[in-house]
Amino acid sequence: MRYSRDMIGYGENTPDPRWPGGARIAVQIVMNYEEGGENSIEHGDAASEAFLSEIIGAQPWPGKRHWNMESIYDYGARAGFWRLHRMLKDVPVTVYGVATALERAPEQVAAMQASGWEIATHGLKWIDYRDVPPEVEAEHIARAVELHTRVTGERPRGFYQGRTSMNTVALGCEEGGFEYLADTIADDLPYWHVHNDKPQLMVPYTMDANDMRFSSGQGFGTGVEFFDYLRDSFDVLYAEGEAGVPKMMSIGLHCRLMGRPGRAIALQRFLEHARAHEGVWFATRLDIARHWAKEHPYTPRLRPSQMERDAFVQKFGGIYEHSPFIAERVWDAEMGAIHDTPAGLSGRMAQIFRSASDQERLGVLIAHPDLAGKLALAKRLTAESTSEQASAGLDALTDTERAEFQRVNTEYVAKHGFPFIIAVRDHDKAGIMAAMQARLANDTETERDTAERQVMRIAQLRLQDALKG
């Protein structure tokens, strides 16, 4: 089974985004413009809207218009937009514009463009796509791009559907004209997503630093709460930037929500807080996407989880000495992006090794060659073992040293029933010999456990080489 989700991303060590001017944080503000694109009988939908409004517990009204719901959305267009525009007109902003909403907002679109804001597409309509067939959603995306281009004069370079299906990101990739997709909440930095062997840049969005939580049961009740959350998010990310690991901060706004006066003040206070700091880059999402594509272009890399079975076993079948069954069982089990890293793949291989039968694990131990033994002299070691033994100088022993290794090897095998095994890259020649002599005195149960741990350590080191870069 292939697991589709990437649960590791950049891992412990995130890349340095190298924000312009050495900025410590990139702040990205999104204005969602959805008013006039929401569910409505007048828009040809089956029911009224019920999402992200002031009405507690709102439900769709099948076959009926909802005056209060429509007028809440109207407020966003008539008043909320202009209040936010006055606050943000000098700030780089990305608008997530629903195409049918933009078509009904010529004055607002003109104001967005006069301010130099980026207008990304927010899809054709502000509707839920979870049950929409992929061919219909693809048609909607195409129509959104076409209508957006007619309304604004240029095609959108970014895409955020919002109320997505499991097909949305794939369809966005396949559309082929987007410099970034934003339907992800998976990171604090942009990242490359690969679909059908083609890279697509993802610029993550936010559901937490988002005024949508004014309309949810577990969310913000006052502007003070929203400001506190934005300030704390900024401060943590800013401190990380000062420590050398800069990130981006996304903020999501809606005209009908944040545009209300009791909430808008929170945005004003946040802007003042952020501007009081040095090294803050306010940017559109397109600015960030283009910066990332230049500074961190997509680089193809080996992805074990995507390999065919024969190729995978051929490459990794020798990680556990002469024991390809480990690689075979790894491939046959669940694999995903987490197994495309040395730590992830070695962890899965160790799991498979531990779950093997006692006889199978013993067979892996027995398959290992003696250190500086006859196979090494005859140059009949695997490439991995040859390299490892050479790294510790075991290919250049004196006659006396070789005789001592062979003597201890013989005693060790006679006592325990398998060769002495150690991850030689962790030791020098003297350290290896000292370990051999010390472990020779162990009981076999203890030594069996030690040898198996060393086998897994050897595999980990081999995978670091195999997946380097």
**Contact in structure between 33 and 105 (CB atoms under 8 Å):** yes
Name the catalytic one among 122, 140, 339, 368: 368
C-alpha 464: how far from chain center: 21
Would you give the DSSP letter of residue 338?
G
Region 456-461: mean pLDDT is 96
**Contact in structure between 45 and 69 (CB atoms under 8 Å):** no
- One DSSP character per residue, 196-238 reads TTEEEEE----SSSBGGGGGSSSS--SHHHHHHHHHHHHHHHH
Q: Choose the weakest-confidence range: 159-163, 267-271, 373-377.
A: 373-377
Secondary structure E strands in 272-317: 280-282
- The one-letter amino acid code at 447 reads E
Predicted TM-score (pTM) of this structure: 0.89
Residue 405 phi/psi, 5-degree rounding, is -60, -45
The per-residue pLDDT for 447 is 94
pLDDT at 68 over 90: no
Region 85-102: mean pLDDT is 97
Q: Choose the weakest-confidence range: 204-218, 333-347, 440-454.
A: 204-218
Whole-number Å distance between alpha carbons of 256 and 260:
7
Q: Show the DSSP H helices in 22-105 as ranges.
A: 67-75, 81-88, 99-103
Condensed to tens digits (0 to 9), the pLDDT of residues 277-313 reads 999 999 999 999 999 999 999 999 999 999 999 999 9
Condensed to tens digits (0 to 9), the pLDDT of residues 245-287 reads 999 999 999 998 999 999 999 999 999 999 999 999 999 999 9
Higher per-residue confidence, 188 vs 52: 188
Region 444-450: mean pLDDT is 95
pLDDT at 26 over 60: yes
The per-residue pLDDT for 221 is 76
SS percent in the chain: helix, strand, coil, step 5: 50, 10, 40
Whole-number Å distance between alpha carbons of 348 and 405:
33
pLDDT at 452 over 80: yes
CA distances from 249 to 60, 81, 113, 176, 316 (A): 33, 22, 23, 27, 40
Region 308-335: mean pLDDT is 96
Would you give the DSSP letter of residue 154?
S
Whole-number Å distance between alpha carbons of 413 and 50:
74
The per-residue pLDDT for 213 is 76
Q: How confident is the model at residue 377 (pLDDT cuts 50, 70, 90)?
A: very low
Region 379-402: mean pLDDT is 66
Is 368 known to be catalytic? Answer: yes
